Structure 1
Amino acid sequence: MHLLIVEDETQLQLQIRRQMEALGFTVDSASDGREGLYFGEEYRYDLAIIDLGLPHINGIELIRQLRESGKEMPILILTARGDWQDKVEGLEAGADDYLTKPFHQEELRARVQALVRRSAGQASNSWQFGPLTINYDKKLVQLQGQTVDLTSYEFNVLEYLARNQGKVISKSELTEYIYAQDFERDSNTIEVFIGRLRKKLENGEGMGFIHTIRGQGYRFEPQA
């Protein structure tokens, strides 16, 4: 998971970075709001830790600009200020939680892990591939806003290929996924499902989504 730290106190920034890396995060760090805004807008993060008292662009304005640009990652704010109004202002700007300095490492770790869990629970399980939308929870597929009627097996084939976008999936791998172990597995039926899916998913411009890689299998690639 990818995390952004925006903190102007060098020693504290290093301490947080080491702690987050120990938790398994890949970490980028910035020392002022301007640099933090650049990182936040250019890259995708699973979490951001932002100090409110930053030079150039303060933390509240940084959060506000990130939210306005469509960034939805959880944000934990750090503040040395004791005024509750600063915390409220940070939360109203779009932050999800806060810690007041000084804080214990254990508390920071607990807040970060809680935000990550909460974010994962709220994440939409609907994926967009150009004109194609796949909602995995509802097992709903839409092409250019119109619902595509798929059988359960057709949906399972599409789901597996889409989750592995860009990767070549062999017929045997698809067969293993599609059929439960108490069913007779027949890889020839995969070709039937693929053929039916292609007909149902071809849009008005003739663009396809599932491509045959001769001798290897199939690849889901909307832009190919």
Structure 2
Amino acid sequence: MRILIVEDEAELCDTIAEGLELDGYAVDRCYDGKVAHELLAVETYDLAVLDLNLPGMDGMDVLREVRKVNQELKVLILSARGSVSDKVQGLDNGANDYLAKPFAFEELEARIRSLLRRSFVQENTVLVWNAISLDTAKRIACVNGEQIPLTKKELSILEYFMLHPTKVISQEELMEHIWNMEIDSFSNAVRVHIATLRKKLKQALAYDPIVTRIGQGYCLRREDTM
């Protein structure tokens, strides 16, 4: 999942971003409201963590502008403006959640997981597809109850497949949701990580659960084709 952190306090922004990257998210950082508005207009994000007191453009104005064109993006306001009226205004303007500063990082993590589950009508933190289970909170994948050693990027790719179990997912879509904007669009990173993920899953399952659709992308193998 790809997240944009919009926070003008650079140290706090970097700390949040680094923590979420350790959780396996692809994270972009932004310290200015106007730049955030421009990024949200051209880049694809699953969720934005948005401060309100921003240079360039107030966070509430960023939120209003985003909601004019994008109703799908999950937005979590993270702000020192913690009054009831501030929270009501933020939620009424289209925020999906509101967390006041100071905050515990563990709570921010939990709220992000909750918002992303809502995006995919997911009711709990454990995804299951056939013999594979993936705990999105603990970032652990298992086959028949046995943990398999996946890298953070492999876990993120598997999670995205399991959230879209019937969909053919293009390489471009994976790049948009699993990598941040620093990745080279001509990189072979997707193919390399798919290959290593496929090898580990095949070894654990005794069959290859990932199907390559030439010219289209990848999908999980249907049970009736095994």
Cα 1:164–1:82 change in 2 (3 A) is closer
Aligned partner of 1:101 in structure 2 is 101
Aligned to 2:214: 168
State the 4+ residue runs in structure 1 displaced beyond 3 angstroms: 164-167, 176-181
Look up the equivalent residue of 2:168 and give its one-letter code: R
Q: Per-residue deviation at 1:49?
A: 0.1
C-alpha spacing 1:84/1:70, structure 2 compared with 1 (3 Å): same
Equivalent residue, structure 2, for 1:118: 118
Within a 5 Å distance, the mapping from 1:1-224 to structure 2 comes to: 1-121=1-121, 163=168, 167-168=213-214, 177=222, 179=224
**Could you tell me how far apart the structure 1 residues matched to 2:170 and 2:44 are?**
18
Contact conserved, 2:82 with 2:101, CA < 8 A, in 1? Answer: no
**Contact 2:37-2:62 at 8 Å conserved across structures:** yes
Write the distance in 2 (CA, Å) between the matches of 1:48 and 1:69. Answer: 15
String of CA shifts for 1:69-125, please: whole Å, max 9, x gaps.
225211100111232111111111110001111101111111111111111118xxx
SS in structure 2 of the partner of residue 91 of structure 1: helix
| Aligned CA distance change for structure 1 residues 162 and 24 (closer, same or farther; 3 Å) | closer
Give the greater-gyration-radius structure (CA). Answer: 1
- Summarize the Cα distance change of 1:82–1:162 in structure 2 as closer, same or farther, 3 Å threshold: closer
Q: Which structure 1 segments of 5+ residues have no match?
A: 123-159, 170-175, 182-224
What amino acid is aligned across from residue 60 of structure 2 in structure 1?
I
**TM-score scaled by length of structure 2:** 0.56
- Percent identity between the aligned chains? 41
SS of structure 2 residue aligned to 1:95:
coil
Give the distance between the partners of 2:169 and 2:87, measured in 1 at CA. 41
Normalised by the length of structure 1, the TM-score is 0.56
Point out which structure has higher relative CO (alpha carbons under 8 A, 6+ apart). 2
Conservation of the 8 A alpha-carbon contact between 1:41 and 1:71:
no
Q: Find the aligned partners of 1:34 and 1:165 in 2 and give their Cα distance.
A: 31
RMSD in angstroms over aligned alpha carbons?
2.6
The aligned amino acid for 1:168 is: I
Equivalent pairs counted in the alignment come to 139
SS at match of 2:36: helix
State the SS of the aligned residue for 1:85: helix
Secondary structure in 1 matching 2:70: coil
Distance 1:178 1:34, change over 3 A: same
Instruction: Report the CA distance between 1:161 and its aligned residue.
Output: 9.9
After superposition, the Cα gap between the structure-2 partners of 1:179 and 1:101, relative to the gap in structure 1 and judged at 3 Å, is closer
